[in-house]
């Protein structure tokens, strides 16, 4: 059985091709399983995985992670003796577990954002392989239960660039992690396809004439653009390289909008713009590191013992009534994800209303923040400019202008984004579709051409 598998930064989706077209499988409360994982402890993951894998796959995993599994089993015995949970949670359940006890357990959102990070050591790569394996296995097992058949072949979506800093080396590292995890999860054949190309294949199904399409896919972690020649003359072909006219991509996505809104709209309530008694401003990088949940190095800096000591020293040098104590509480209780989640909820609400009030009771009783569309616009301005540059780059590679623009991805819902793209390409029709499902659907269409 073959599928299209969108292992996304924000959500996972899986589609099968039926007679009427692609069908997204209901993986949880909807067709989209949030890309989040919660474990009782980071080091417990290998032991929990070893138990979850079917027997043939388990033997290979035991050979690969023997020492880590032994340590995990010892840790899990201790957790059970203390009456603590001993299981992995995914999607909405993972978020709920984190929000219930933010400073307990291990929570990760959007692990795909980290796969291309430069400077990862072998233990970190092994950890990300395990996290991706856990999520892939969960999605695969849920899908197999729904369709009643084993899934052995998949076309998996990938961004044009996982991370811009190390270029192709980042892409090779990320694809190696995804390949290894997919193999350990039981996929016998895997192919990768650019996510904007996959979304384009789904858009192509509704075209009645050939045209040149600029696909702009603004996902949770990356923005990717592809210029594609598409239409009835091409849609049944397996080999499409000649119609792929240009590609661009960068690690700019919905998560970055959330992080920038966190800094712009919420961090002032944590002392961001205060000055010390000497008149020197509090260092802004501290607040950025606290919010940068998609940056391994930034989060490591913020949660280091050194930063903890620096914050306590700064508090002594602050003016009376300083709000920096809230940032200290955020660090002590590991609330970065929760704060960015509040900003994300505000961003979503601002699509429908001019102001959104978000509670921040986890930082201080009865505390809340009022987020506005103007704050969101200020936070988004730099990111939108970069998205415009990616659009220009793909168009320049193609050497022609698009006849249509197809916008997809979670951030495609934002009126701010839609208005920006229309203004960037005046006179070119801008169209949308299933913002979250178009990539998985297009991957399933390509899987049918590839594996049948």
Same domain, 39 and 68: yes
Q: Which residues pair with 229 in a beta bridge?
A: 212
Beta carbons within 10 angstroms of residue 64's beta carbon = 15
DSSP one-letter code for 409: S
Same domain, 159 and 267: no
Same domain, 374 and 390: no
For residue 438, being part of any structural domain is answered with no
Tally of domains within the chain: 3
pLDDT of residue 120: 87
Tokens of 303: 């949660």
Last residue of a domain, one of 361, 378, 395: 378
Same domain, 30 and 72: yes
Same domain, 240 and 146: no
pLDDT of residue 164: 55
pLDDT of residue 386: 96
For residue 202, being part of any structural domain is answered with no
Domain region containing 420:
210-254+382-432
For residue 129, being part of any structural domain is answered with yes
For residue 72, being part of any structural domain is answered with yes
pLDDT of residue 84: 84
CATH number at residue 46: 3.30.420.40
Tokens of 54: 């079917």
State the Cα–Cα distance between residues 79 and 38, nearest whole angstrom.
15
For residue 97, being part of any structural domain is answered with yes
State the Cα–Cα distance between residues 436 and 28, nearest whole angstrom.
15
Tokens of 150: 């084993």
Last residue of a domain, one of 195, 224, 245: 195
For residue 330, being part of any structural domain is answered with yes
Last residue of a domain, one of 340, 362, 378: 378
Same domain, 180 and 169: yes
For residue 440, being part of any structural domain is answered with no
Beta carbons within 10 angstroms of residue 386's beta carbon = 13
pLDDT of residue 166: 52
Same domain, 415 and 285: no
Give me the phi and psi of 149, to 5 degrees please. Answer: -155, 150
State the Cα–Cα distance between residues 452 and 448, nearest whole angstrom.
6
Helical segments of 250-400, H only:
254-261, 284-291, 296-302, 305-317, 324-332, 336-350, 373-398
For residue 443, being part of any structural domain is answered with no
Same domain, 171 and 219: no
Same domain, 248 and 265: no
Q: Mean pLDDT in runs of 10 for the chain (452 residues)?
A: 95 94 94 95 96 93 95 93 91 93 90 88 94 97 96 96 76 95 97 97 96 96 95 92 95 93 97 95 96 90 96 95 96 95 95 95 95 95 96 97 95 88 95 92 96 88
Same domain, 29 and 157: yes
Q: Angle at Cα 301 formed by Cα 313 and Cα 219, nearest 5°?
A: 135
Same domain, 180 and 145: yes
Same domain, 302 and 371: yes
């Amino acid at each position: 059985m073959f599928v299209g598998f969108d292992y996304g930064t924000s959500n996972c989706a899986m589609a099968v091709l039926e007679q009427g077209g692609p069908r997204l499988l209901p993986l949880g409360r909807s067709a989209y399983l949030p890309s989040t994982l919660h474990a009782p402890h980071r080091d417990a993951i290998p032991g929990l995985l070893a138990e979850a894998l079917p027997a043939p796959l388990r033997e290979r995993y035991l050979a690969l992670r023997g020492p880590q599994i032994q340590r995990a089993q010892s840790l899990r015995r201790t957790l059970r003796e203390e009456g603590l949970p001993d299981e992995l949670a995914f999607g909405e359940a993972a978020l709920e577990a984190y929000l219930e006890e933010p400073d307990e357990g291990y929570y990760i959102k959007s692990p795909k954002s980290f796969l291309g990070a430069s400077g990862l050591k072998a233990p970190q790569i092994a950890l990300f392989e395990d996290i991706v394996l856990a999520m892939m296995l969960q999605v695969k097992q849920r899908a197999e239960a729904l369709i009643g058949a084993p899934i052995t072949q998949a076309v998996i979506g990938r961004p044009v660039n996982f991370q811009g800093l190390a270029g192709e080396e980042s892409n090779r590292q990320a694809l190696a992690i995804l390949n290894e995890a997919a193999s350990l999860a039981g996929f016998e054949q895997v192919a990768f396809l650019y996510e904007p190309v996959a979304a384009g294949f789904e858009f192509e199904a509704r075209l009645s004439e050939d045209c040149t399409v600029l696909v702009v896919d603004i996902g949770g972690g990356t923005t990717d653009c592809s210029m594609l020649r598409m239409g009835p003359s091409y849609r049944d072909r397996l080999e499409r390289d000649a119609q792929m006219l240009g590609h661009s991509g960068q690690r700019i996505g919905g998560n970055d909008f959330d992080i920038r809104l966190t800094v712009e709209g919420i961090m002032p309530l944590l002392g961001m713009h205060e000055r010390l008694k000497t008149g020197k401003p509090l260092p802004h990088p501290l607040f950025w590191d606290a919010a940068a949940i998609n940056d391994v190095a930034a989060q490591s800096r913020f949660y280091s013992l050194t930063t903890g000591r620096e914050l306590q020293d700064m508090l002594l040098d602050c003016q009376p009534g300083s709000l920096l104590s809230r940032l200290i509480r955020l660090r002590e209780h590991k609330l970065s994800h929760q704060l960015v989640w509040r900003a994300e909820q505000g961003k979503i609400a601002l699509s429908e209303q001019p102001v959104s009030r978000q509670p921040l009771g986890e930082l201080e009783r009865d505390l809340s923040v009022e987020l506005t569309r103007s704050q969101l616009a200020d936070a988004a301005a730099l990111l939108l400019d970069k998205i415009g540059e990616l659009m220009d780059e793909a168009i320049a590679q193609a050497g022609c202008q698009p006849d249509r623009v197809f916008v997809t991805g979670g951030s495609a819902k934002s009126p701010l984004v839609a208005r920006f793209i229309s203004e960037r390409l005046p006179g070119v029709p801008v169209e949308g579709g299933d913002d979250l499902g178009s990539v998985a659907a297009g991957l399933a269409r390509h899987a049918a051409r590839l594996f049948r």
